[in-house]
Amino acid sequence: MSVRSRERVRLLDDEVGGMTSEYLIVLVLVAIVAIVAWVRHYEAVRDDADVQYQEFGYPAPD
């Protein structure tokens, strides 16, 4: 077996750092889901407020 093929086999069997990268990927996906949920919630609240303002009018200025 040549040095190059032994190195390739060694690298394919190497799992050091694999869990860290998996956790990082999961963390990024969770962050994306949280940001999307927050934006949708914000938009829903803003739309509800716009409907209320159109129905009842804007509050009187102080």
Query: Model confidence over 14-40: pLDDT tens digits?
Result: 777 777 888 999 999 999 999 999 999
pTM over 0.85? The answer is no
3-class DSSP assignment, residue 15: coil
Query: Binning pLDDT at 50, 70 and 90, where does residue 13 land?
Result: confident
Mean pLDDT, range 4-11, rounded to an integer: 79
pLDDT per residue as tens digits for the range 34-57:
999 999 999 999 999 888 888 888
| CA pair distance 17, 26, nearest whole angstrom | 14
